[in-house]
Structure 1
Amino acid sequence: MSSSIRRTFNSDALTRLAQALAVIASATLAGCQTTSSLEPGSATPVANISAKIKQKPIFLARKPTPQTPPHDVWERIREGFQLQDGNDLNPRIEQQRLWYANNPSFLETAGERGSLYMHYVVERLEERNMPLELALLPVIESAYNPMALSRSDAAGIWQFIPSTGRYFNLRQTNFYDGRRDITASTTAALDYLTRLHDMFNGDWLLALAAYNAGEGTVSRAIERNDKLNLPTDYWNLPLPQETRDYVPKLLALSQVVMSPEAYGVNLNPIANQPYFDVVELNQRMDLSKVAAMANIDEDELIQLNPAFKKRLTIDGPQHLLVPTSKSQLLTASLSNMKPEELIDWQQYRVRPGDSLASIASRYQVSANTLKDLNKLSGNRLSRGQTLTIPVQPGITPALPVFQELASEDSKPTRTRTYKVKKGDNLVQVARINKVDVKDLQHWNKLSGQNLKVGQTLVMQDNSKPAKATISTRAIASNASSAKNQESDQKSMQYKIQKGDSLYLVAKRFNVEMQHLKRWNPRSGQALKPGQTLTVYLPH
């Protein structure tokens, strides 16, 4: 990495480096008068410096702590640095500083992106009295990109892998990923870092190494050096190369933030005040609707709430992060909206006879919407499967006819299947099952008329009977009085097909099952193919 950096160094970078070295040199002269961290004539720190020895930073001069709170988050971060002592003239840190000096846009871009979250992170760190260098850790991890996803499936600004995320209560579903939740992942990251800090006896450099490589890797490296009577501090451990670079990257970044002008980096000011507020919700909502409601830029709202993967507040906490300037407007808008104006989300358990089309029609959404929300690759549903469906509170979804006619215990079936036999063709199958050829093609996504032996075809039982045309108006007006008007009704004989039941026949002809039983007292519940039933058709 060092050689490639030197090859790509341009004249501007060299100028910036010269400025930085001038700052370092002047600071070193001042620092050497108060510390003995270096051996005479040595250009590197003494190995295994005791953690008990507190040294003043000598790579640059500290600014005096101001009497008034800083107006800029960057300045607030600088005032809370705790990890700079003893890290002067370290070649591993210097190598990383060179990279930042040669790539100033990296920190500038990460700072712009992190401007939404950095004040929140700093406040949480200060509450725990943790080093504010840790506010720069998401720059190393993700460049403060909440949508960042690594090759090892680490996600969010703090880059939690799935298992570690679950350990720290970051829920992960099709709709919500707590690793991308700004507030939840920050809490989890600081909990994890605190735990590592305690595990490694208060050594933040070892804790950071463990955050990158895992506590097991660092612990084994310490045990190895201990057995060989070698120093066990971070700088002397045999760690993976990525971890050997990880802590120097953070320390080098901190030094660049301490004096960005010396490295040619332009850090735009970040106001030292909260960027967002938390607004509680009393129902699940669509982020697009929230953005329109409070006049918030939709992309900005998504950047503040990246954990909601489908822009729907499902599976996660029932609150949203919104810009502070918009929080009162959103709160007022929510309180003033009528129930029918809000989108809610319901869990629906698939029942026998349900189809994706029928459920979509019932809830007045498209089948494609249901497929996308529930990650369905096709149209087939399984009994007992749970679907998440957007509905409007106060609006009762229309129940299908079979649910109005039948009780819960009857467990009606709305679809049936037919297995293709040798010699079958589409027209014959349609005629046998008394359905239309076009309907059969539509239900089974058939582009032609070719069938395969053993192929299973699905048919919906709300198709029109072949021998009678019944209008829904006639059903509505005559079904309730069918018993008293049988003498005026037209009767027909229906031959039972394979798979038929009394319920299916009653539904097919839009009559009540109790009437069908009365018209055919010897029919019983078990029908046989070829058996004939009498049916009185409604007017």
Structure 2
Amino acid sequence: MPQMFRSLFAVAVLAAISSNAAALSRRDQASVDALNQRMQAAEARYRDAMVMIGNADPEGQKQSDAALEDMEDVIAQCMKQRGCSVPTMLTAYKRLLKLNADAEADVPEGEDEGDDHASPLAADVPEAARAAHLLADDHRFDKMVQFNPAVQAGIRRWLTDMRGPLISSYENYQYMRHLMWPQYERAGLPEALLFGIMAKESNGKVHSTSRAGAAGPMQFMYATGRRFGLGDDGTGFDTRYDPRSAAEASAEYLNERMGQLNRSIELALAAYNGGEGRALRVYQGSGGRNFWEADVYNQFPSETQDYVPMVIAAAWLFLHPREYGLSFPRVDAKPAPLRLAQPSSIYQLTICLGNRGERDGYMRALRNLNPRYKAESWLPAGTTLNATTRIVGLYNRWCTTGARAELARTLVLSDPTTAIVRMGPVTTVDMGAEAASQEDEATDTTAREQAKPAKPSKPKRPRDYRVQRGETLTAIAQKFQCDTGDLAKVNKIKGPRFAIRPGQKLKLDGCGE
């Protein structure tokens, strides 16, 4: 319910500003009194639900959700009821925020047992501090696009075959929201538009790359990305994969297109997908008609004809989930730095963190927040990763010491090639002649052993190594007890991908003896 509460709070703020204090009729006063009583009852139900949740009663979450929905209905009616004081109603939210803050303060550091039942209010109401401004930005989108059968078909697809990708897109976006949304907000573009494009382009996976070469969460082609400041940042990292940079470039690109195309979101989206040159030619050639007119629509490829309503449909659902019975999951995505206490990789962290509070675990969140690192890259102790407060708590509890930490390390260091037992060729022995030759063989063996020079106590590791098919630089570094970064530096291999090829000769300077 994040969008619902932010929008609700926004409308409430606006209503409070415009309220008047005219005298009330007896009927209006009775209606106001009834609304106040309903709000008090809903608040009491919510407090009781919090106690149930604290006692691990599974009904607690249902009761708290129902209470919050009652409060939403009361405030919606209050805004329509003459003489009803919206600020008074909002006081209940402040009390519930205090209730949540006190409950969170009682949980010891590193423990998160209660987080699975965290109220959406705790996450959503503080964000509503900018509520009136957000309302103007967000729901202006409803008036900027056409809601027609093509969009309805897109909504149907997102809610049926593509419901899973839509939910995943929302979860992924929540982790990156603090990086991406401010870029659209500064550009005066609706957040829903950002979500719709990202959901359709990449499902919120920052390392997504198309067959055509589009890359990153917003899927920029290389040349287009270069025009808007994306590309190699001098370290070998392509900033098309960076969510903050990609969102900033996307907002700039869309505003540039909308400036050419009469502020039409549909045509700007058609340009985003089908090419800006084509969109401008079609727009100018049609005399400025809109995307949905046949002589405009039919000049775009079928991919673009599908793309535009699907983006709008995802954006529409982002703003109106409850209307369609859609429940977006609550995501605890408060940003926090994670400093590694020992060498690790994102793969290793994913294993030891587990998946408490997150159905699919935390690998996607860690990868999205740290796009410069490959999942298997070996990161030295002291490396600081972008994470969340929940991830940091789980790391401190499970990933520094203990059985799970050791198990995670064992699993990521396992080499499947060592499972294969290699034996010499099988030979057929003449059993009759074997006994007769044993004495001669023993004599020959003694002579050979005496003639052999003494073997060194410990063979030397090779100083060079030929890359085998399927090997990564990280796997080789682990095999020879090297640091991946040091091994890359010695061999002049650029990160973060550390690309190597079969047969390539690597120097093992600095590796373990």
The interval holding the TM-score normalised by the smaller chain is: 0.3 to 0.5
Hey, which of these two has a bigger chunk of strand by percent?
1
- The TM-score, its normalising length taken from structure 1, stands at 0.43
Hey, which of these two has a bigger chunk of helix by percent?
2
Higher relative contact order (CA 8 A, sep 6+): 2
